[in-house]
């Protein structure tokens, strides 16, 4: 898909308004491709200061309020500001239909709107306004069955650049006295090696990744599976001896829903940008096989 290629390769700088949970957050994003790898710098412009640096091998998040620095060496591309956008529309596996609208203007630029309509109530709809010239996404919306916008992201300004100096991808925050938390690389294993299984998944969803998460050099912290229908991803975490008093619990954060369930001595958490009934359906379908 041309949009996915543009997000990986183009050099640009811009300001973004992000609406979620009835709150608007503004951010400045700087993105560049160097020698086949991406770099991305994100800085909040209102509210609590937060900074995110995405490099080819890691992502570093700075939280000055709590004086915390989190470095994640797992799948850096998943932590991009644009990681939630669909990579290939053709991988919808029959779960969506697509409507291409006439040209419109976003941030003073010509764009084409693509509406992505789900064929069931287990996923949200999406609208993407793609720049007619560069193929960059200029605006993005997630909406529910009633058509109400759940989440929105829009460029309020954007500038394309031939080259962006590497110094612009350095942190602007003095983090010498910050506490650092490191998430080390995941150990990728076959799904067949796991004792966990899914009795029934929603139509179109399948396991696309399975791994074990390590933290600060300690023992295995959690097992992690990613499910996808080609457009949206759902994470499932399996943790031992965690919140033993939890039987089942649901939570919503804007368009992201989470469902936790205790299975023996394990806490299973399902989280994704899908309706609440979808994460609950998946969570209740999980089984653990005896060793």
Number of C-alpha atoms within 13 angstroms, CB side, residue 54? 24
Mind listing the domains of the chain with CATH numbers? 2-169 (2.50.20.10), 189-288 (3.30.200.100)
Q: Strands 248-253, 137-143: parallel, antiparallel or unpaired by DSSP?
A: unpaired
Q: Are 60 and 69 in contact (CB under 8 A)?
A: yes
What pLDDT tens digit does each residue of the chain (291 aa) get? 677 787 788 899 999 999 887 789 999 999 998 777 889 999 999 988 899 999 988 889 999 999 999 888 776 666 677 776 776 666 665 788 899 888 889 999 999 999 999 999 999 999 999 999 999 999 999 999 888 899 999 999 999 998 999 899 999 999 889 998 877 655 555 555 678 889 989 988 998 888 776 655 455 567 888 898 888 889 998 887 655 565 666 666 667 899 999 888 888 999 999 999 999 999 999 998 876
pTM value is: 0.82
257-275 in b/e form (b: 16+ CB < 10 A) is bbbbbbeeebbbbbbbbbb
Residue entry with tokens 């001595």: 265
Q: Which long-range contacts (CB under 8 A, 24 or more apart) does 94-101 make?
A: 94/119, 94/204, 95/119, 95/120, 95/123, 95/203, 95/204, 95/229, 95/230, 95/231, 96/123, 96/231
Cα–Cα nearest to 18, from 39, 46, 40, 55: 46
Q: Strands 59-63, 51-54: parallel, antiparallel or unpaired by DSSP?
A: antiparallel
């Amino acid at each position: 898909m041309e949009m996915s290629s543009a997000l990986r390769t183009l050099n640009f700088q811009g300001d973004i308004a992000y609406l979620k949970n009835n709150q608007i957050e503004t951010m400045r994003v700087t993105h560049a491709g160097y020698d086949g790898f991406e770099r991305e710098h994100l800085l909040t412009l209102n509210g609590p200061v937060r900074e995110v640096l995405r490099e080819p091998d890691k992502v570093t998040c700075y939280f000055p309020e709590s004086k915390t620095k989190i470095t994640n060496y797992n799948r850096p591309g998943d932590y991009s500001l644009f990681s939630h956008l669909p990579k290939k529309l053709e991988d919808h596996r029959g779960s969506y239909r697509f409507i291409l609208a006439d040209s419109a203007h976003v941030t003073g630029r010509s764009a084409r709107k693509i509406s992505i309509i789900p064929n069931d109530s287990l996923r949200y709809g999406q609208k993407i306004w793609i720049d007619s010239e560069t193929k960059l996404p200029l605006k993005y919306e997630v909406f529910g069955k009633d058509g109400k916008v759940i989440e929105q992201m829009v460029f309020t300004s954007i500038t394309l650049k031939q080259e962006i100096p590497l110094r612009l991808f350095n942190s602007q925050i003095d983090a010498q006295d910050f506490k650092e938390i490191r998430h080390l690389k995941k150990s990728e294993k076959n799904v067949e090696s796991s004792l966990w299984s899914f009795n029934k998944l929603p139509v179109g969803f399948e396991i696309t990744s399975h791994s074990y998460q390590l933290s600060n050099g300690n023992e295995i912290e959690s097992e992690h599976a990613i499910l996808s229908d080609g457009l949206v991803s759902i994470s499932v975490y399996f943790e031992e001896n965690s919140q033993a008093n939890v039987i089942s619990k649901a939570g919503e954060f804007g368009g992201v829903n989470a469902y936790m369930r205790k299975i023996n001595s394990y806490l299973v958490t399902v989280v994704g940008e899908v309706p609440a009934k979808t994460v609950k359906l998946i969570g209740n379908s999980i089984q653990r096989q005896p060793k």
